[in-house]
């Protein structure tokens, strides 16, 4: 792997040396594309079986949502996890303690939320050092990432961790770039921009695409995009995950400092050890997970409010609900009765395409 790492270092150095201006934008775009390709090779090595995956690292996905905890060693991740979930992941006071993932499950507002400690995403994990690679594979499947920071040395850590996750194709608190990209068989590069571009022009786009050996495609930029955005779209293996920064150890700072921290976006200050402010953290987690709870109602009985069926925000149609319970259920469905904010009448007869909202009640009527 060293040769790839050397290449990456070389390109990063060249990028650091290059001044950023209109004249060099083209060249920088090319370097960024090369870098992205090399990084992808690191994550998914070419040919051969990629070696066995690390033990303890293909975690079964249970529950309705999965939350990954990332942080440097000794910032209090394990303490936070064990206090949140009552999971006991072995806590020691030296660096590099957690090596396998111990999933804990908490119930919050009726939803089962799986908490995962993602150990050792640290400097160099994306270069295959540490247990990096498997951890990343798991991190990419999370619905939410919590970056646990030590309130006394937060910024450096935050930057390093974000840089690591970005290197794995994980984009935090971002929307996918608004770029239309369609490969074709012939016709060259057809480039249109629907608004002013500060960084990309036709030539730069062509250079980046030719680096990927793409010579025929339609590219539409619908927002002011950067070279990185374009590369993300072409690579196509990016995941967009919401993220909360958890600032731990607030028992060690003053009230004035705490007031400042409260104003930072996506941030929750806590003390894992004293269990301060957990409710705030859970509430924010719930907000960012965007889960929808659907209660079931057997015929002639009251709705069961204790165990909702929990669906992700985008997939809340009656059909998704049926699939979540059993894949054959949809074939037997005649119609459904729904009570709640998504319907005009209570109850209302709906088909499989009806989209439900949080805390709706449903009764299925079979054929």
Which CATH number does the domain housing residue 250 bear? 3.40.50.300
More confident residue, 84 or 221: 221
pLDDT digit string, tens, across residues 334-361:
888 898 888 888 888 888 888 888 888 9
Q: Are 140 and 70 within one domain?
A: yes
Given a cut of 60, whether residue 98 has pLDDT beyond it is: no
Find residue 117's DSSP bridge partners: 69
Burial of 298 (0-12, 13-18, 19+ CB in 10 A): exposed
Least confident span in 68-72, 119-123, 299-303, 305-309? 119-123
Given a cut of 70, whether residue 22 has pLDDT beyond it is: yes
Measuring CA to CA, which residue among 170, 133, 130, 150 is closest to residue 77? 150
Given a cut of 70, whether residue 56 has pLDDT beyond it is: no
Q: Are 353 and 220 within one domain?
A: no
pLDDT digit string, tens, across residues 278-312:
888 888 888 888 888 889 888 888 888 888 888 88
pLDDT at position 74 is: 66
pLDDT at position 44 is: 63
Structural domain range at position 280? 65-93+101-173+240-288
What pTM was computed for the model?
0.71
Phi, psi for residue 252 in degrees, rounded to 5: -100, 5
Q: Are 215 and 85 within one domain?
A: no
Q: Domain count of the chain?
A: 3
Peptide bond into 347 cis (omega under 30): yes
Contact between 177 and 229 under an 8 Å Cβ cutoff? The reply is yes
Question: Which tokens in the block code for residue 149?
Answer: 């920071």
Burial of 333 (0-12, 13-18, 19+ CB in 10 A): middle
- The CA R_g of the chain, rounded to the nearest whole Å, is 24
pLDDT band at 49 (very low <50, low <70, confident <90, very high): very low
Q: Are 169 and 244 within one domain?
A: yes
Report the run of H or E that residue 361 belongs to, with start and end: strand 360-366
Residue 57 lies in a domain: no
Q: Are 223 and 276 within one domain?
A: no
Contacts of 367 (CB under 8 A, 6+ apart): 332, 333, 334
Q: Are 165 and 244 within one domain?
A: yes
Residue 48 lies in a domain: no
Question: Which tokens in the block code for residue 52?
Answer: 């066995």
Question: Which tokens in the block code for residue 55?
Answer: 């033990």
C-alpha to C-alpha distances, 50 to 43, 46, 59, 128, 137, nearest whole angstrom: 10, 8, 18, 12, 13
Residue 60 lies in a domain: no
Q: Are 184 and 162 within one domain?
A: no
Contacts of 258 (CB under 8 A, 6+ apart): 250, 269
């Amino acid at each position: 792997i060293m040769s790839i790492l050397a290449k990456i270092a070389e390109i990063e150095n060249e990028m650091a040396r290059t001044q950023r201006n209109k004249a060099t934008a083209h060249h920088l775009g090319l370097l960024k594309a090369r870098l992205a390709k090399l990084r992808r090779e690191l994550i998914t090595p070419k040919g051969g079986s990629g070696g066995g995956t690390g033990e303890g690292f293909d975690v079964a996905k249970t529950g309705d949502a999965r939350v990954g905890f990332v942080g440097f060693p000794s910032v209090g991740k394990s303490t936070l996890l064990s206090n949140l979930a009552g999971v006991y992941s072995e806590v020691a006071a030296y660096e590099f303690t957690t090596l396998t993932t111990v999933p804990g499950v908490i119930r919050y507002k009726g939803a089962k939320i799986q908490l995962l400690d993602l150990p050792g995403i640290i400097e160099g994990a994306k270069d295959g050092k540490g247990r990096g690679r498997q951890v990343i594979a798991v991190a990419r499947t999370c619905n939410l990432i919590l970056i646990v920071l030590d309130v006394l040395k937060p910024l450096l850590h935050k930057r390093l961790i974000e840089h690591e996750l970005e290197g794995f194709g994980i984009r935090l608190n971002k929307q996918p770039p608004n770029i239309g990209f369609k490969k074709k068989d012939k016709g060259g590069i057809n480039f249109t921009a629907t608004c002013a571009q500060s960084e990309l022009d036709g030539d730069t786009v062509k250079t980046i695409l030719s680096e990927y050996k793409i010579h025929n495609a339609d590219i539409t930029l619908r927002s002011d995009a950067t070279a990185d955005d374009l590369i993300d779209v072409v690579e196509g293996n990016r995941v967009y995950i919401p993220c909360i920064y958890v600032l731990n150890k607030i028992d060690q700072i003053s009230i004035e400092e705490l007031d400042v921290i409260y104003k930072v976006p996506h941030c929750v200050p806590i003390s894992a050890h004293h269990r301060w402010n957990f409710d705030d953290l859970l509430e924010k987690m719930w907000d960012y997970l965007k889960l929808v709870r659907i209660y079931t109602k057997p015929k002639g009985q009251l709705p069961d409010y204790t165990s909702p069926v929990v669906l992700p925000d985008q997939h809340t149609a009656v059909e998704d609900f049926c699939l979540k319970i059993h894949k054959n259920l949809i074939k037997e469905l005649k119609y459904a009765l729904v009570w709640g904010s998504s319907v005009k009448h209570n109850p209302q007869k709906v088909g499989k395409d009806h989209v439900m909202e949080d805390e709706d009640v449903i009764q299925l009527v079979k054929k």
